Structure 1
Amino acid sequence: MNTYETRAARIMQRIQELATISENEQGVTRTFGTPAFLAGRALVQRWMEAAGLAVRVDSIGNLRARFVSPNPAAKTFVLASHIDTVVNAGKFDGPLGVLLGLDMLEQLVQQQAQLPFHIELIAFSDEEGVRYHTTYLGSKVVTGAFDQSLLHRRDAKGITLADAITTMGGNVEQLASDAMPAADWLGYFEVHIEQGPVLWERDIPVAVVTAIAGQQRVEVTFRGMAGHAGTVPMNMRQDALAGVAEFVLAVEHFGLVHKETIVATVGKLDIRNAASNVIPGEVTCSLDLRSADPTRLASAYDALRAQTEAIARRRNLGLHWDLIQYTAPITCDAGLNNLLAQAITESGYEVVPLVSGAGHDAVPISAVSRATMLFVRCFKGISHNPLENVEERDLAATLQVVDRFLSSVISF
């Protein structure tokens, strides 16, 4: 019997199998374009093809499976998430949505369903932005918003994005043709772990995402003067790392003062020519700012930049401030959210509205299509961590909700 429990168990088995494919043995690491990423994508592709779906890989490396409607004028409803990861990730961030979407399409194939619209399941190739420090590469290609200047960006090994795409088998000249015209979109739906503790603490399996916070990513470089650690007097140093240390604490303090509306994080640090007996002469770090309020996000950016410039002046350091990425906050579609809330209620669960502090591919998609998201309860809200976990009972509840939701979309 094909119950929600048996379907959940099969999805979980696939998630566990995909998680065995990693760049290293600790946690799960499948960054864009790496051999591990390609192997993971190939596994998911085999599952899609075995389901009887029309499958292709586009030029940015997105894996796209299509359930075709007999309606010649049909639009496309997209189910999607991503299969790339951060370094030392968990098993569920991204793959949960892709493999749950695959289960939904398998049910439609088995039922020989005749839908008034196409359904395209997309496993986006790069949502996390680890390798090239810019998120949503995959979804921006699908929406037609890809920035061609990014093709010249280099990773830590000096490999350009254009070369990485070519190595993966893609064609940079075809990126624009992989976009889906805005007129062809019926809607977008993404299932994702919550990445926060609300559902865990309340023991509720799912939540409706009402909005997604905007974010600004900055690369900050302090330049001083490298020197011998044993010979340069303390009061005569231009220590770039000391400047970064003050910057990190300033970011933390700002985030704590404005904790109701802003989160601020320094998550990466690179000391050039680092040695224990050398005063650091150049240090680069990251800054990640997020808020659901665009005005507060902009004011936080300006305030922290001013504080950073003051630190550099006071310490006689050079400063390079480079805005890597800006994404505005978005609001999810009210009509689709109402259908999702109705599906949750009909499934016997409380409707919990949540704002996502994390970014998702729904952000660029919202520029061309109405979009909605469903959060799934995860262990203590932990994500981007090997401890990330989803219980099968919550996955079974999610399947019940999604089944009802898709049925309502069909008749909407």
Structure 2
Amino acid sequence: MDDNYTSRAEKILRRIEALAAISEDAQGVTRTFGTPAFLQGSALVKSWMDAAGLSTHIDSIGNVRGRLVSRQAGAKIFVMASHIDTVVNAGKYDGPLGVLMGLDLLEQLVQHAVELPFHVELIAFSDEEGVRYHTTYLGSKVVAGSFDQNLLTKTDAHGIPLSQAITTMGGNVQTLAADAIAADQWLGYFETHIEQGPVLWENRIPVALVTAIAGQQRVELTWHGMAGHAGTVPMDMRQDALAGAAEFVLAAEQFGVANKNELVATIGKLDVRNSASNVIAGEVVCSLDLRSADAARLATAYEELREKAQAIAQKRQLTLDWNLIQYTAPVSCAAEMNTLLAQAIGEAGHDVVQLVSGAGHDAVPISAVSPATMLFIRCFKGISHNPLENVEVADVAAAVQVSERFLQLLFSHYQHSLSN
């Protein structure tokens, strides 16, 4: 690997460490939307953008935005982006790596005084993870013009509505629509991200081309039984909500294993209401996260699991509330941009590995208004949303080289199309 790319990768990782030092807790990395730690991290990222010579601002949803302006008349906008919010007790790289790689690319454009055929904007999205308000993609939905105004009344665990959080951050709920990039102004979207899976790690491949992003359906299930004394209610006369939920946990796992080539199914949250060791559970809430790159299979799997849950509830004399929290359709990355990105990967000397992302990304809402493409970077054992999350310098350097070549190809391709 060229020493230049290695030194640039090392600089990116030093910035990762500086950003990771800003957290809501001292033991790990936690920066959730709108918190003091989040605002401090945003200010640091903006200062780096300012130092690079970008035209910067923080919009009303808290996205940090920096732009290099083209002198081309009627220039469109090419966006490079990822997010800087985190889950609780997160790793350092999920999101910020893509932002800081984008910053490195723009610094190079400035240093070499590259004549831009279109505007290039770098965005550090404010809320992709959706931890605080259980709403993913707040930042990117504002930029895409698809923000749901009804979310402004949604409250966090402390009863603070989203509208108040935006105001506290210095934003204005009245100007959210104005922060969108109009659909006819988009030229394209590029996001780099750790893979969050083990394929690249196991095969010692530094980067991969993302062909699609799996669709998601998130459900909240509430199991209602009858609370009772653990010592006095006979086993065959119980309406145990926890036993019903537990049976569904295993049923969902078995369903996922049986259909492992098409989908994944996860129960990641279980809340036993008014729990005690000597009380039969009367109410239990659990989650269901269902994902597939095939929209039709996602829909049928959703109904199959719903039927399984209802059958379990009926058998155990429970009642079940099934509440769909989120639906996101599968997204295919843009063929033309993927062709250029695949060319860049090959020219950098790597095999062109194609992957479907099981995780959601800001590319999902952006793809509704712009051609989008993504590059995955190898990460340690595929671990993500975990303090063990890590990357190697050589893999980041390879991703920098590929991304830079992709931009060069995009510039040439766009200039050629203009001349024709």
TM range (shorter): over 0.9
Indicate how the Cα distance of structure 1 residues 243 and 163 shifts in structure 2: closer, same or farther if over 3 A, else same.
Answer: farther
Task: Between 388-397 and 275-284, report the one with greater CA deviation.
Answer: 275-284
Q: 1:232 aligns to what SS in structure 2?
A: coil
Q: Structure 1's 307 and 13: CA in aligned 2 closer, same or farther, altered over 3 A?
A: same
CA drift of 1:233 comes to 3.1
Q: Which residue of 1 aligns with 2:103?
A: 102
Gaps of 5+ in 2: 414-420
1:239-388 map, 5 Å = 239-388=240-389
Residue aligned with 2:167, SS: helix
Offset of residue 2 of structure 1: 8.1
Alignment of 1:42-61 (within 5 A): 42-61=43-62
Question: Higher mean Cα deviation, 228-237 or 295-304?
Answer: 228-237
Q: Distance in 1 between matches of 2:34 and 2:240?
A: 37
Matches within 5 A, 1:13-162: 13-162=14-163
SS in 1 for 2:216: strand
**Aligned match of 1:391:** 392
The aligned residue for residue 400 of structure 1 is: 401
CA contact (8 A) 1:134 1:324 kept: no
Q: Deviations over 1:351-394 (max 9, x none)?
A: 11111111111111111000000001111111111111110011
Q: Is the 8 A contact 1:69 1:115 kept in 2?
A: yes
Query: For residue 276 of structure 2, what is the amino acid of its counterpart?
Result: A
Describe the shift of the 1:310–1:104 C-alpha distance in structure 2 as closer, same or farther (beyond 3 A): same
Farther-moved stretch of structure 1 (242-251 vs 6-15)? 242-251
The 1:282–1:166 alpha-carbon spacing in structure 2 relative to 1, beyond 3 Å, is farther
The 8 Å contact of residues 27 and 385 in structure 1, kept in 2 or not, is answered as no
Structure 1 pair 319–157 and aligned structure 2 pair: CA distance change class (3 A)? farther
Could you tell me which residue of structure 2 aligns to residue 217 of structure 1? 218
Deviation at 1:25, TM superposition (A): 3.1
Q: 1:168 to 1:281 in 2, by over 3 A?
A: farther
Would the aligned equivalents of 1:91 and 1:386 in 2 still touch at CA under 8 Å? Answer: yes
- Aligned residue pairs, count: 412
Query: Matched residue of 2:312: which SS?
Result: helix
How big is each residue's C-alpha offset from its partner over 1:279-302, in whole Å with a ceiling of 9 and x where there is no partner?
Answer: 222221111000011111000100
Partner of 2:189: 188
d(CA) in 2 for partners of 1:385, 1:131: 18
Other structure's SS at 2:355 match: strand
1:221-236 to structure 2, matched below 5 A, reads 221-236=222-237
* Residues 239-278 of structure 1: per-residue CA shift (max 9 Å, x gap): 2222211111111111011111010001112222233333
Counterpart contact for 1:53–1:66, Cα < 8 Å:
yes
CA positional deviation for 1:72: 3.3
Q: Which moved more, 1:153-162 or 1:241-250?
A: 153-162
Q: Which amino acid aligns with 2:393?
A: E
Q: How does 1:1-16 map to 2 (within 5 A)?
A: 3-16=4-17
| Residue deviations 1:213-261 (CA, integer Å, cap 9, x gap) | 1111111111222233333333333222222111111111110111110
**More moved, 130-139 vs 70-79:** 130-139
CA RMSD of aligned residues (A): 1.5
Q: Secondary structure at the match of 1:411?
A: helix
1:120 CA displacement: 0.7
Unpaired stretches in structure 1, ≥5 consecutive residues: none
Deviation, structure 1 residue 102: 0.6
Instruction: Encode CA deviations 1:115-169: one digit per residue, 9 max, x unaligned.
Output: 0111111111111122222211111111111112222222222222222222222
In structure 1, C-alpha distance between the alignment counterparts of 2:405 and 2:183, rounded to whole Å: 26
- Distance change >3 Å, CA 112–CA 387, structure 1 → 2: same
Equivalent position of 2:416 in the other structure = none
Amino acid at match of 1:69: S
Q: Structure 1 residues 244 and 157 mapped into 2: Cα distance closer, same or farther (>3 Å)?
A: farther
1:2 and 1:164 map into 2 onto residues whose CA distance is 44
TM-score by length of 1: 0.97
User: Once the two structures are aligned, what percentage of the paired residues are identical?
Assistant: 71
Q: In structure 2, how many angstroms separate the alpha carbons of the residues matched to 1:22 and 1:241?
A: 35
For residues 2-52 of structure 1, give each alpha carbon's deviation from its aligned partner in whole angstroms, at most 9, with x where no partner exists: 811111111000001111112223332112222221221111111111112
Matched residue type, 1:273: N
